[in-house]
Structure 1
């Protein structure tokens, strides 16, 4: 696939890195010569210095033959115009734009991004995507990752197995016998830093990170069986009142009356601005690294510290300080992948990587076939994919036990006619079923082939 990426910042670089690893033909455009030099040096991509919205720059980057443009600069208007130019002059089939300003995203303006007005196929708002991820983590304490599929009916949760976890040292096949009414499937395990797909005879061990597919209704029970029955946080302190922090606070005010929130924001001007937009949330002006300011926010009595500033070091240190001061748990925003390996040793309970969230959203549209959703995990080591089965799919009409599936993939659940069905040997996939699959990186292409809109399997 030929892809043009406008913007070589954290979002653009992350997308370019992932797509280039998968042998796509990638061109990156940015106004910064330094960023383009670093992209050229580090990745197998072509780099162009210039404005992504300028026709001559897009032409030089190969827009005439491009399959997709991803406009991910820091400026919404540049992203919009880049997609407009790519459509009008070069007829690029797929146009994805990063939009940050919430004004563009209001539901009553949804016709703005249509073929008749602004021909953009997909709008990505990293702040909203990350905000929703943070909200899911807050709602499910104990889960280190949470993703929903199939109209929110299916959930994938990543759960750390604790020493007192009731299901450790038990064969996975025995779990279904011990809990026959629990619709949960362990599809992946991270042990000693290595990710693998378990067999039915394998056992979970303390310290494992288990990726479990279950129904929305059974997520809390599943967490409980893995030793996590932490109560939902009702007193939350947020570090950082930027776009993500404001989105989280506003949404909690709308959805949860019993949660009390306080925000610590370093900029006085920003603190005043967000205080005007919030009704029940207390906003304090000061640094999240100021111990006195955290104590003013009653951090010692808080259930959860959520660090959402745009500085990784501030997020990590303020979260560590919060727990030392008595806060029960923390959730940290971390952009730099190099810091993610330190989370456990520093006492960080969970983290969100904005780049991974955005890349997952883009991959949904890069993947060929009837792919409805994609979530990348463990820095691209695997993906959880929701795909729609077609008449031509080799999955259809064959009992699962008879399928010759590759080693690197496992079916987690099937969504059919509004109901969730857990996989079993005698189950047959039907056309239009939505299948949630856990696939290691090497098996992703195979998953794509299985859901391609073609007759190549006949």
Structure 2
């Protein structure tokens, strides 16, 4: 597949990395020569310095033969025009654009992005996606990540094992026998910042970050088995009133009527603006690092602080201060991957990465075959994939233990006729099953082929 990525920033470089790993022909356009040089030196991609919406530059990037354009520059307007030019002049089949300005997405302008006006096939709003991701984490206290799949019937949960975790130091093959009520499948372990795709002989150790799959109705029981029985937050402090903080406050008001939120914003004009648009959220003007303001926000009685300013360092410090003054849990927005090794030692409970979330959203529209959903884990070491098994697939009517899967692929669960089946070696996949699996980055292409529609299907 020939892909043009407009923008070599964090999201664009992340997308380019995923696509290049899958042996796609990728061209990246950016006006910054240093970013293009860095990408060209580290990835198997073609770099092009220029303006992404320029017809001449897009032609040079291979737009006449491109299958897909992904516009993720810092400018919404450049992204929109790049997609328009790609459609009007070069008939690029699929166009994806990142749009950050929420006014473009107002329902009253819903016709703007129609095929007759500005033909963009997929619009990605990072602020909305990040706010949704934070909302999901709030639903499962004690988890640092939560991914809903199969129309909400299945969840993939990320949790940290502490010293008191009852199921550490136990080979995974023994978990079912020792804990018969624990109906889960362990998908991945991150130990000392090193990802592991486990086999039956591996075991979890204190300090490990573990991803597991479970039926949604069993998540509470599974969390208890990991030693996490925290209650859902009823009082929340949001630090940062930008698009993410504001969208999160709106989501809490609309979907969590029993939750009380206080939002701290340092800009007077912005604070007044969002205060007029929020109904139940108390907006406080000031610095999220001010102890007196945290006290005014009743930090001691708050279960969760969510720090989502534009500065990683402010988010980290605000989270740590809030916990120091009595808040139970911190969810922190961090863009820089260099901070990742520090997070668990600092005491931050969950990290939100806008670029990973945006990349996962875009990947859902790129993956081929009967792929329903894709979620990238920890800077792309693996992907959680939901796919539909077809009658022509090599996976069906065979016990999982007899399927020739790559060693770094784990099938976690199936959904059949609305019923969740946690995968075991004897489990047999049937046609039309929704299959939830984890695949290391190197094996994603093989999984796509396994779920692809073959000619005999027609």
- Pick the TM interval, shorter chain: over 0.9
2:227 maps to 1:227 = yes
Give the Cα separation in 2 of the matches to 1:97 and 1:191.
35
1:129-278 map, 5 Å? 129-278=129-278
Give the Cα separation in 2 of the matches to 1:434 and 1:95.
27
- Pair 95,363 (structure 1): closer, same or farther in 2 beyond 3 Å: same
Tell me what 2:386 maps to: 386
Tell me what 2:337 maps to: 337
Q: Which has the higher relative contact order, 1 or 2, with Cα contacts under 8 A spaced 6 or more apart?
A: 2
- Pair 321,179 (structure 1): closer, same or farther in 2 beyond 3 Å: same
Tell me what 1:49 maps to: 49
Tell me what 2:401 maps to: 401
**Any idea what the Cα deviations from partners look like across 1:84-132, whole Å, max 9, x if unmatched?**
2212211212211112233443557555434344322222111111111
1:302-341 map, 5 Å? 302-341=302-341
| Aligned-residue offset at 1:298 | 2.1
Tell me what 2:70 maps to: 70
Task: Give structure 1 stretches of 5+ with no counterpart.
Answer: none
Tell me what 1:444 maps to: 444
Tell me what 1:281 maps to: 281
Tell me what 1:101 maps to: 101
Normalised TM-score (structure 2) = 0.94
- Pair 380,295 (structure 1): closer, same or farther in 2 beyond 3 Å: same
| Aligned-residue offset at 1:338 | 0.5
Tell me what 1:418 maps to: 418
Whether the 8 Å contact between 2:4 and 2:26 is mirrored in structure 1 is: yes
Paired residue total = 457
Give the Cα separation in 2 of the matches to 1:17 and 1:295.
44
**Any idea what the Cα deviations from partners look like across 1:322-370, whole Å, max 9, x if unmatched?**
2222221111000000011110121211101111111111222332222
Task: Supply the RMSD in Å over aligned alpha carbons.
Answer: 2.1
- Pair 456,209 (structure 1): closer, same or farther in 2 beyond 3 Å: farther
- Pair 424,35 (structure 1): closer, same or farther in 2 beyond 3 Å: closer
Helix, strand or coil at the partner of 1:262: strand
Whether the 8 Å contact between 2:171 and 2:203 is mirrored in structure 1 is: yes
Give the Cα separation in 2 of the matches to 1:111 and 1:152.
30
| Aligned-residue offset at 1:154 | 0.9
Per mean C-alpha deviation after superposition, the further-off stretch among 375-384 and 195-204 is: 195-204
Tell me what 2:25 maps to: 25
Helix, strand or coil at the partner of 1:444: helix
Per mean C-alpha deviation after superposition, the further-off stretch among 41-50 and 186-195 is: 41-50
Normalised TM-score (structure 1) = 0.94
Helix, strand or coil at the partner of 1:317: helix
Task: Give structure 2 stretches of 5+ with no counterpart.
Answer: none
